[in-house]
Amino acid sequence: MSAAGLSHLLGASGPLAEAVESFRPRAGQLAMARAVAEALELRGRLVVEAGTGTGKTFAYLLPALLSGRRVIVSTGTRTLQDQLYHRDLPAVGRALGRPVRVALLKGRANYLCRHRLALARGAPELPALGRAARLALARVEAWSRTTTAGDVGELESVPDGDPIWPQVTSTRENCLGQDCPEFRGCHVVEARRAAQAADLVIVNHHLLLADLALREEGFGELLPGADAVILDEAHQFPDTAAQFFGTRLGSRGLASLARDALVELTRAGLLDAGSRRLVEALEAASAAVQRALAGLGERVDWGALPDAALEGAQELERALAAMAEHLGAPALEAPGVRQCGRRALEAGTRLTAILAAEAADGLRWADVGPRAFSLELTPFEVAARLRGHFDARPCAWICTSATLAVDDDFDHFTRRMGLETARCLRVPSPFDFEQQARLYLPQGLPQPAAPGYTAALIEAALPLLRAAGGRAFLLFTSHRALAEGTRCLRAALAAADRFPLLVQGEAPRDALLRRFRELGNAVLLGTGSFWEGVDVRGPALSLVVIDKLPFASPDDPVLKARLAGLEREGRNGFLEYQVPQAVLALKQGVGRLIRDPNDFGVVMLGDPRLRSRGYGRTFLASLPPMPVTTDAGEAIAFLRRHLGALAPTGTP
């Protein structure tokens, strides 16, 4: 596609302007589209940070669809997958005036499995789940008779987190493949076929990584036929890769294996006393590990595990080996029973790899919850593995996100991705931050580790909350700070403060956001899940308060793995990893405020280290060009001036 052609398509009188009501030409969008078109043509590698409001989605979709090449677009979230498929791609298709063969491919857990639905009808544990589970199963059964795609998102009456879904969807481990009696009508197989026939396929990072590793996920190989891969929300990709390339054994998977083994053995008429003892031994060993880990915290270094946990893991290894041998016998004619045997063998192999790992293999740790645990082996870094996969596939690789650069420098991201030779382009936001926003740095707050820090933060934020009449996000870096901040704010509110409080954990995330938009004057308090992927436009969000610089917890084993890997190379983990990661996270949080040319507001950053530590300059230099003030009165006047323009009475 020529530069002139892109200029016309993305211009004020072009087809996109006619097809999309809110479309407006942006120089940054055109610059990005030209860079993407060049990368597609040359099969090159491109990294683009596109500031909020750039219109990056159209900037890569348009050249991708015009290239005549087969393109995979990978996102970090299902929300963006659905937005691309249901909103953005149809808009581009209308503008181009021709149909586009597009497929949406999600993970297995998003598709109904007819075989597992049949098993769930007679599963012995379902009655124990109660009346709600039986009602949910009835809804799933009714829907299964009418759905064609089998996408569980179609059934809005059964929410995502309902416990019925794991019963009626498959995983890579429990899928029977071509041995399945429902294989001909398999929704996963149909989704795979549609993807293989499409010009553009929308996947997520987990599926793409599965394909990169040539791991069989039941979707076939996407990459061998692709001419280009575009990673949107690319800032999430390195961490997702680290999780994927690690080794993990979880108690929920073991419980599912035990449950499925009983169901399949019963269905095949093979459940006898010996088989039942094998299943019970697996459950007992898993329970013993859970008891040994109780009370140790959420994430525990391997060296801190008690002997009872290690002994339980070894017993678990023996129980899996015995189950694998018994259920995987070639003489068994029941495919479901044999598959349970293969699952036990694979789980045992993973556990053996974790137990036998040496110091150079990565960091071992345990993730512990009140009713579940997982044993983990996390690699020190994944750049070399990713680089090998990129080099092995001569297609274009394009990464984009609103947060990839640290003070105009892409080295942190490109090193983590193994894309050191990629062309890097930074497209600034078209928004007028000088006029639309202020950055308020309050004076006199204690150090973030001080016991009274959160209370002092709330006290400093309260005048701004009152000036804004609510209309705020309060973003915290930990659940403990969220709980303390909520207590402090509720205690400080007076009868005249009429803005409602919405708190993460008191309702589902989507419900909180919907309520926040509807109320128009609410204050939402949240942690990590509200720092990114949240889009609230208009005056309903006019103030964002961030409690601390978002450094990862120093006790996080995943962080320790990264730092240990850097130390092995003689590098400074704090400056080369912790600071850049925190900068990118802060950019995401600050980016919640201005989402539209008409938005306005104040960002309040409470952490005094922005001024007192040398690395604070890096954080400030990486943020949008907002005027900075340390005067609360100036920030309050800014809010009142803009909100007063909306309210004839002059009150917010």
Which CATH class name applies to 3-101+199-243+382-427?
A: alpha beta
A 10 A CB-CB count for 353 gives 13
Residue 401's pLDDT is what? 95
Token representation of residue 595: 């989402």
Domain covering 433-646, topology: Rossmann fold (3.40.50)
CA distance 44 to 65: 17
Smallest CA-to-CA distance from 402 within 541, 217, 257, 595 is with 595
Q: 147: burial class by Cβ within 10 Å (0-12, 13-18, 19+)?
A: middle
Looking at 236-374, list the stretches that DSSP marks H as alpha helix, in order from N- to C-terminal side. Answer: 237-245, 251-268, 273-293, 307-327, 335-356
SS3 157: coil
Hey, where are the domains in the chain?
Answer: 3-101+199-243+382-427, 108-188, 247-378, 433-646
Residues of the chain with pLDDT under 50: 126-128, 215-220, 648-652
Residue 547's pLDDT is what? 96
Residue 518's pLDDT is what? 94
For domain 247-378, the question of CATH label 3.40.50 is answered with no
Residue 517's pLDDT is what? 94
pLDDT digit string (tens) for 461-488? 999 999 999 999 999 999 999 999 999 9
H or E segment and range at residue 484: helix 479-492
Residue 134's pLDDT is what? 80
Residue type, 283: E
Token representation of residue 219: 């979707």
Put the strands of the sheet holding 601-605 in their side by side order: 501-503, 523-526, 472-475, 543-546, 601-605, 437-440, 628-629
CA 293 to chain centre: 27
Asked if 3-101+199-243+382-427 and 433-646 have one fold, the answer is yes
